[in-house]
Chain A
């Protein structure tokens, strides 16, 4: 650590006022504070008590909690690929390496394009680099299908950072979750590359390899929407995540490990996570009672482990900026996300992944929920404060 600090101190004057690279100070500052906790001291006025964990450290913890999903996703990409080609005996390492080769470029493109935009805005607006993209840059690849063209990842990332975040004023001001904005953009702009049954599994066959007979690349939810009940993997299989889907979302176990990290460190809100699952479960129970189509017949627990439900509930819905802020509001917000996710799934087969739309919709509604919760609170307190006349 010492030599690194010394190196930074040595090159720092170049970036400060009057230095050669003054314009690039935001970039330098970003790297410096990324590596070391900044040495701010409090002024005579203002906050005197600071938490040791600042925004960058918070973001890094979220990225760490995403690593199980990323690793599992890489392995699953390889696993599904080899399964499609009938190579059931591919080893763990083979699967993992194949997946890493497919996934890492998406991660790099996502970070590269997103941070590029952030740097440009930081330099134009003369502020330091916003930390928010550290997490978004990791979330975006995890919600993409493996076969998505890289330029589309770049375009949707740039769109999400500019329209989803920078127009509102940058990190902490955004209405919508940037990662989901990127996915929604991709979903509506290039639907053939993020839905259907050809993009979820990489089926590029090498020499002497062929896709096995009866292979279907559709996601379980896609199959369910098409009414193919026998093609839906059972609950346990979906829980572990041995199903096709977006890179990071398939495994509920990996998501739960991430959730444990988030909850232990107190970064994620357990209220939101819990209420999303409860809302989704109740809605699925109601639909299951009717059981009119394949999607309704899926058991409630099964609904919660399919698709991006768990991933969305744990990593997307709990985004502290776009979620509801009040305690009661968090319950309402989470509950409605769960309900709407299942509702969209069941009633709109064109969008089998309802989680994305449900979260974006509730992101927009979150300020309204907060407004009424705060209003109700004020009313209750005013009532209590009213002097009793008759007594």
Chain B
């Protein structure tokens, strides 16, 4: 019996992961595409229907969610080891609520008119399933940096859908995008009308549905077996 096989265990040196390793990049890209919080995880639908009548409020809303999601992910990730398991939801809620209040005050201070349009929906970010979902599923089990990227990625994934839906809705509902007239007056005088259905919430649901339809027919992996 040679002794070579029973050498002392070599101390495995874990290489420090690069800040933007492939794994970390995926945290940002995936929510934009195959793991979108709205169209694949089907979270946060409520606010997506309510604030997407115009493009401007949806962009503000998207930024607010990105900020809240990223910050609370980082905070929860930092204190993840000292949160008692039984009251973790309450701790998470407290953190999210604090972030949302900050964002709300910020909006009220600097862009008051948009804040008024968003009204209660900024406050309702607290209950947005995406944020709670990410805290539970990711931040509680990962280090701050990946948690931050995950928050950013999911926030942008949410914002992407918001912007797409709101562009369609504002274009066909008011003929404008960001308040600029896109469909010229001459078209209206020729007999064109703004679509009244598209500014109602059901139509937002249908647009999200069409997006899901297109996404799933392009990527068959997303279709769940019956």
Decide: A185 near B193, CB < 8 A? Known: A163-B206, A167-B209: no
Query: Is the CB of B20 closer than 8 A to any CB of chain A?
Result: no
Complex-state Cα separation, A167 to B217, whole angstroms: 12
The smallest C-beta distance from A189 to any residue of chain B, in angstroms, reads 4
Find out whether the CB atom of B209 lies under 8 angstroms from the CB atom of A190: no
Query: Is the CB of B213 closer than 8 A to any CB of chain A?
Result: yes
Other-chain residue from A152, A167, A188, A192 in contact with B200 (beta carbon distance below 8 A): A188
Measured between beta carbons, the chain B residues less than 8 angstroms from A189 are 195-198
Query: Is the CB of A191 closer than 8 A to any CB of chain B?
Result: yes
Question: Apart from A189-B195, A189-B197, what 19 extra A-B contacts exist at CB < 8 Å?
Answer: A149-B191, A151-B191, A151-B192, A152-B193, A163-B206, A167-B209, A167-B213, A185-B197, A188-B196, A188-B197, A188-B200, A189-B196, A189-B198, A190-B193, A190-B195, A190-B196, A191-B196, A192-B193, A193-B193
Secondary structure of the B contact surface, majority rule: loop
Measured between beta carbons, the chain A residues less than 8 angstroms from B200 are 188
Complex-state Cα separation, A151 to B193, whole angstroms: 10
Measured between beta carbons, the chain B residues less than 8 angstroms from A192 are 193
Measured between beta carbons, the chain A residues less than 8 angstroms from B209 are 167
Complex-state Cα separation, A5 to B195, whole angstroms: 46
Q: Name 6 interchain pairs, CB-CB below 8 A, sorted by A.
A: A151-B191, A151-B192, A188-B196, A188-B197, A188-B200, A191-B196
Measured between beta carbons, the chain B residues less than 8 angstroms from A163 are 206
Query: How many of A's residues come within 8 Å of B, CB to CB?
Result: 12
Measured between beta carbons, the chain A residues less than 8 angstroms from B198 are 189
- Of A185, A189, A191, most buried by chain B (CB within 10 Å of CB) is A189
Measured between beta carbons, the chain A residues less than 8 angstroms from B192 are 151
Who on chain B is nearest to A124 by CB?
A: B217
- Of A149, A152, A188, A193, most buried by chain B (CB within 10 Å of CB) is A188
Who on chain A is nearest to B202 by CB?
A: A188
**8 Å CB interface, B15-70 against A:** none
The smallest C-beta distance from A164 to any residue of chain B, in angstroms, reads 11
Complex-state Cα separation, A152 to B197, whole angstroms: 13
Complex-state Cα separation, A114 to B198, whole angstroms: 21
A-B residue pairs, 8 tightest by C-beta = A189-B197, A188-B197, A189-B195, A190-B193, A189-B196, A149-B191, A191-B196, A163-B206
Residues of B within 8 A of A (CB): 191-193, 195-198, 200, 206, 209, 213
Measured between beta carbons, the chain A residues less than 8 angstroms from B193 are 152, 190, 192-193
Complex-state Cα separation, A167 to B206, whole angstroms: 11
Residues of A within 8 A of B (CB): 149, 151-152, 163, 167, 185, 188-193
Measured between beta carbons, the chain B residues less than 8 angstroms from A193 are 193
Complex-state Cα separation, A188 to B192, whole angstroms: 15
Who on chain B is nearest to A152 by CB?
A: B193
The smallest C-beta distance from B78 to any residue of chain A, in angstroms, reads 45
- Of B191, B197, B209, B213, most buried by chain A (CB within 10 Å of CB) is B197
The smallest C-beta distance from A199 to any residue of chain B, in angstroms, reads 12
Who on chain A is nearest to B192 by CB?
A: A151
Complex-state Cα separation, A191 to B195, whole angstroms: 9
Who on chain B is nearest to A189 by CB?
A: B197
The smallest C-beta distance from B206 to any residue of chain A, in angstroms, reads 6
Complex-state Cα separation, A227 to B193, whole angstroms: 30
The smallest C-beta distance from A261 to any residue of chain B, in angstroms, reads 35
The smallest C-beta distance from A106 to any residue of chain B, in angstroms, reads 15
Who on chain B is nearest to A163 by CB?
A: B206
The smallest C-beta distance from B196 to any residue of chain A, in angstroms, reads 5
Complex-state Cα separation, A93 to B197, whole angstroms: 39
Complex-state Cα separation, A151 to B213, whole angstroms: 26
Measured between beta carbons, the chain A residues less than 8 angstroms from B195 are 189-190
The smallest C-beta distance from B47 to any residue of chain A, in angstroms, reads 22
Who on chain A is nearest to B213 by CB?
A: A167
Who on chain B is nearest to A156 by CB?
A: B197
Who on chain A is nearest to B193 by CB?
A: A190
The smallest C-beta distance from A63 to any residue of chain B, in angstroms, reads 29
Complex-state Cα separation, A185 to B196, whole angstroms: 9
Complex-state Cα separation, A193 to B209, whole angstroms: 27
Measured between beta carbons, the chain B residues less than 8 angstroms from A149 are 191
Who on chain B is nearest to A167 by CB?
A: B213
The smallest C-beta distance from B141 to any residue of chain A, in angstroms, reads 37
Measured between beta carbons, the chain A residues less than 8 angstroms from B206 are 163
Complex-state Cα separation, A192 to B196, whole angstroms: 10
The smallest C-beta distance from B189 to any residue of chain A, in angstroms, reads 13
Complex-state Cα separation, A192 to B188, whole angstroms: 14
The smallest C-beta distance from B198 to any residue of chain A, in angstroms, reads 7
Measured between beta carbons, the chain A residues less than 8 angstroms from B191 are 149, 151
Complex-state Cα separation, A191 to B198, whole angstroms: 12
Complex-state Cα separation, A189 to B202, whole angstroms: 12
Who on chain B is nearest to A186 by CB?
A: B197
Who on chain B is nearest to A185 by CB?
A: B197
Who on chain B is nearest to A188 by CB?
A: B197
Measured between beta carbons, the chain A residues less than 8 angstroms from B213 are 167
Measured between beta carbons, the chain B residues less than 8 angstroms from A185 are 197
Who on chain A is nearest to B196 by CB?
A: A189
Complex-state Cα separation, A352 to B197, whole angstroms: 19
Measured between beta carbons, the chain A residues less than 8 angstroms from B196 are 188-191
Complex-state Cα separation, A38 to B213, whole angstroms: 33
Who on chain B is nearest to A149 by CB?
A: B191
The smallest C-beta distance from B53 to any residue of chain A, in angstroms, reads 15
The smallest C-beta distance from A319 to any residue of chain B, in angstroms, reads 21
Measured between beta carbons, the chain B residues less than 8 angstroms from A151 are 191-192
Complex-state Cα separation, A188 to B198, whole angstroms: 9
Who on chain B is nearest to A155 by CB?
A: B195
Complex-state Cα separation, A190 to B209, whole angstroms: 22
Measured between beta carbons, the chain B residues less than 8 angstroms from A191 are 196
